[in-house]
């Protein structure tokens, strides 16, 4: 069995462990809710995160990574984490444990006493490189989301200040002149 087949066969286990690691970044009550509530409408955040990592795992296991699709899957997850109280490193840290989870699953199947087939190591290196690239991409997405949040907040402060100045009659609206 090659590495890709092994990982595809163990996909449900890998996905479950990865989701657990991601949930561990949340407070216990929040993690419990995300984990136990499967309804999309009652738990849109948990559902979005689970579906996002599932699609990411599919991309990682695929031979070629479509950066456009990966960006969309990451955006769905990172956007949620960007508005929550996560630092940049905390928001994207959930990606890296996937490497250890994959290595654990290989070890569970092959054990530690058997040498891995030669093609496994090169394939594993390729998969881990994809995970690293996805982590870097997720950081970029996080920063874009945060920049957008700061823009929104700054615009709200400007609008609020303008309205206050209007109410205090410190700003006089000048009638627009017609241009002939």
Structure tokens of 169? Answer: 């009659």
Rg (CA), the chain: 23
Each residue's pLDDT tens digit, 1-53: 788 899 999 999 999 999 999 999 988 888 888 887 666 778 888 888 999 99
Are the C-beta atoms of 148 and 78 separated by less than 8 Å? no
**Which pLDDT tens digit goes with each residue over 42-101?**
888 888 899 999 999 999 999 887 889 999 999 989 988 888 878 999 999 999 999 999
User: Of the given ranges (56-60, 104-108, 124-128, 166-170), which has the lowest mean pLDDT?
Assistant: 166-170
Extents of the domains making up the chain: 3-167
Token pair listed for 78: 């990172």
Q: What is the pLDDT of residue 72?
A: 92
């Amino acid at each position: 069995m090659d590495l890709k087949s092994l990982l595809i066969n163990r996909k449900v286990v890998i996905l479950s462990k990865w989701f657990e690691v991601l949930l561990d970044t949340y407070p216990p009550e929040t993690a419990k809710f995300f984990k136990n509530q499967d309804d999309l409408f009652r738990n849109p955040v948990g559902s979005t995160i689970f579906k996002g990592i599932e699609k990411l795992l599919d991309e990682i296991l695929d031979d070629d990574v479509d950066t456009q699709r990966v960006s969309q899957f990451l955006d769905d997850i990172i956007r949620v984490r960007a508005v929550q109280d996560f630092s940049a490193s905390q928001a994207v840290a959930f990606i890296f444990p996937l490497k250890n989870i994959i290595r654990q699953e290989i070890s569970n199947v092959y054990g530690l006493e058997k040498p891995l087939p030669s093609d496994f190591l090169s394939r594993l290196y390729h998969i881990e490189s994809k995970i690293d690239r996805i982590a870097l991409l997720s950081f970029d997405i996080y920063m874009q989301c945060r920049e957008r949040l700061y823009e929104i907040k700054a615009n709200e402060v400007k609008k609020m200040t303008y309205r206050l100045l209007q109410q205090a009659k410190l700003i006089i609206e000048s009638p627009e002149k017609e241009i002939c």
